[in-house]
């Protein structure tokens, strides 16, 4: 099978906060898995006290500061604005967003890119909830909550994607710019809002199964306040999209 | 506002059908009065069923944690060699 030269440039935006080890591992894995792709990694660090930015500078010495862009902010300012900030510095015609805690594995990047090239989709989103995907590190209670939340969201919103809160996605840059300007939510509701608005606007969305290994240390909490936020987010999306 | 309009239209349509059923009395009225309740209960049961089925079929990937650990070791070795501080072993 002939390898077509992919002349696209992919800007990978990774927001970080206290990820001095994980960011190095991610950078290594990205270079390992997409060696023949034109890409840049834009690290938006929110003033991490653990020295994440020092590590990024060391990585720049290894990989080049044209491939690894450090675009920090003074303090924690939220995920949505981190993407907007990263977008300002993105030169690519495609943007990939991913988490910095290794729950999103760079080994799926070739599949995202391939899916987009095959289908011409505006957005390719990773889904943990279909065959071929999966989650590791969740308790039964966590899975129950996730499944319940998913059924509720699907019943209310008819979103057209199987994983609403996932944040491992590939966007055409113009599409991301279009959607992000109309989103106002915070946290994971923000991810939901992005994909629902994209669906409503009629953008072509494709899915790729991904596996998600929840962080081993200090696993993501899901308490009462998160559930309330989620329900509020659902109602907001129900009424405004 | 389009999605909520779709839902509201659907609810209005169902309500109209329900009212017309009450008026024409094709089905005994005592039964018709309870129809909305039956619908809600059915919806609830369906939702619970979907949650249960989804929970049973929840895809897991324990082998991925192992693979990840291998990747971490490989990455740490390479980066240490290149002078990046990857912390104590």
Do the Cβ atoms of A148 and B51 come closer than 8 Å? yes
pLDDT, tens digit, 9 for 90 and up, residues A201-217: 999 999 999 999 887 55
**Strands laid side by side in the A68-70 sheet:** A68-70, A38-45, A9-16, A94-97, A169-172, A123-127, A205-209
Tell me what pLDDT residue B89 has.
56
Q: Which two tokens stand for residue B22?
A: 């009450």
Which among A163, A189, A176 is positioned nearest to A78, based on CA atoms?
A189
Percent of chain A with pLDDT over 70: 95
pLDDT attached to residue A216: 58
Residues of chain B contacting A, Cβ within 8 Å: 1-4, 7, 47, 50-51, 54-55, 58-62, 64-65, 68, 71-72, 74-76, 78-79, 82-87
Confidence of residue A1 (pLDDT cuts 50, 70, 90): very low
pTM of the model: 0.89
Contact criterion met (CB < 8 Å) for A147 and B64: no
The residue with greater pLDDT, A2 or A27, is A27
Which member of B4, B60, B84 has the closest CB to residue A55?
B84
- pLDDT at position B1: 61
- Inter-chain contact B65–A240, Cβ cutoff 8 Å? no
Q: What pLDDT, on the 0 to 100 scale, is given for residue A88?
A: 94
B63-87: buried (b, 16+ CB within 10 Å) or exposed (e) per residue?
Answer: ebeeebeebbeebbebbeeeebebe
Given B58, B74, B84, which is nearest A24 (Cβ)?
Answer: B84
Q: How far is B28 from chain A (nearest CA, A)?
A: 31
Instruction: Kindly list the residues from chain B whose CB atom is less than 8 angstroms away from the CB atom of residue A61.
Output: 83
Q: Which residues pair with A11 in a beta bridge?
A: A40, A95
Specify whether the CB–CB gap between A105 and A114 falls below 8 A.
no
Residue A36 is encoded by which pair of tokens? 């023949």
CA separation, residue A102 to residues A93, A154, A165, B64 (Å): 25, 27, 17, 12
Q: Which of A147, A145, A110 is nearest to A126 (CA)?
A: A110
Output the pLDDT for position B86: 83
pLDDT tens-digit series, residues A66-93? 999 999 999 988 888 899 999 999 999 9
What is the pLDDT at residue A4? 61
Q: How far apart are CA A239 and CA A236, in angstroms?
A: 5
pLDDT, residue A2, reads 44
* Per-residue confidence (pLDDT) for residue A104, from 0 to 100: 93
| Residue of B51, B60, B85 with shortest CB distance to A136 | B60
At A5 the pLDDT is: 72
| Closest chain B C-alpha to A227 CA, distance in angstroms | 16
Distance CA A118, CA A114 (A): 6
DSSP conformation letters of chain B: -HHHHHHHHHHHHHHHHHHHHHHH-SS-HHHHHHHHHHHHHHHHHHHHHHHHHHHHT--B-HHHHHHHHHHHHHHHHHHHHTT------
Contacts of A147 in chain B (CB under 8 A): 51, 54-55, 58
Interface with chain B: mutation pick from A147, A195, A197, A212, highest number of B CBs within 10 Å? A147
So what's the pLDDT on residue A134? 92
Q: How confident is the model at residue A218 (pLDDT cuts 50, 70, 90)?
A: very low
CB A53 within 8 A of CB A72: yes
- With beta carbons under 8 A apart, name residues in chain A contacting B79: 24-25, 28, 62
Q: Do A143 and B83 touch (CB under 8 A)?
A: no
The string of pLDDT tens digits covering residues A159-179 is 889 998 889 999 999 999 999
- Cα separation, A133 vs A224, in Å, equals 27
- Choose the closest CB to B85 out of A55, A105, A136: A55
- The complex's ipTM works out to 0.84
Q: For A122-149, what is each residue's pLDDT tens digit?
A: 999 999 999 899 999 888 888 998 888 8
The contacts of residue A115 (CB under 8 Å, 6+ apart) are A121, A124, A206, A208
The mean pLDDT of chain A is 90
Interface contact B3-A143, CB threshold 8 A: no
What pLDDT, in 10s, does the model give residues A24-50?
Answer: 999 999 999 999 999 999 999 999 999
Taking only the tens place, the pLDDT of each residue in B2-31 is 788 888 999 999 999 888 888 887 777 788
Name beta bridge partners: A171.
A95, A123
pLDDT confidence tier of residue A185, bands split at 50, 70 and 90 = confident
Contact yes or no for A25 and B72 at CB 8 A: yes
């Amino acid at each position: 099978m002939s390898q077509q030269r992919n002349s696209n440039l992919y800007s990978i935006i990774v927001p970080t906060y206290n990820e001095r080890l994980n960011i190095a591992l991610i950078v290594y894995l990205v270079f390992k898995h997409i060696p023949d792709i034109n890409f840049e990694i834009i690290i938006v660090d929110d003033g991490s006290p653990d020295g994440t930015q020092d590590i990024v500078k060391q990585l720049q010495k290894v990989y080049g500061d044209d491939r690894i862009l450090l675009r920090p902010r003074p303090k924690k300012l939220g995920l949505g604005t981190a993407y907007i900030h990263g977008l300002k510095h993105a030169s690519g015609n495609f943007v990939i967003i991913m988490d910095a805690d290794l729950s999103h594995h760079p080994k799926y990047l070739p599949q995202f890119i391939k899916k987009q090239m095959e289908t011409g989709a505006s957005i390719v989103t990773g889904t943990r909830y279909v065959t071929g995907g999966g989650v590791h590190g969740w308790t039964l209670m966590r899975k129950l909550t996730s499944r319940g939340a998913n059924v509720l969201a699907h019943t209310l919103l008819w979103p057209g994607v199987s994983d609403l809160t996932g944040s491992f996605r590939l966007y055409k840059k113009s599409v991301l710019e279009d959607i992000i300007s109309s989103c106002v939510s915070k946290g994971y509701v923000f991810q939901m809002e992005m994909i629902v608005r994209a669906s409503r606007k009629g953008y072509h969305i494709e899915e790729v199964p991904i596996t998600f290994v929840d962080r081993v240390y200090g696993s993501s909490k899901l308490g009462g306040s998160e559930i309330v936020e989620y329900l509020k987010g659902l109602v907001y999306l129900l009424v405004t999209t | 506002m389009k999605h909520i309009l779709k839902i509201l239209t659907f609810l209005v349509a169902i309500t109209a059908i329900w009212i017309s059923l009450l008026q024409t009395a094709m089905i005994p009225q005592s039964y018709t009065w309870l129809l909305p309740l039956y619908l809600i209960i059915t919806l609830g049961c369906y939702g619970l069923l979907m949650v249960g089925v989804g929970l049973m079929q929840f895809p897991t990937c324990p082998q991925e944690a192992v693979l990840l650990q291998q990747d971490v070791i490989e990455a740490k070795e390479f980066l240490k060699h290149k002078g990046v501080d990857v912390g104590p072993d």
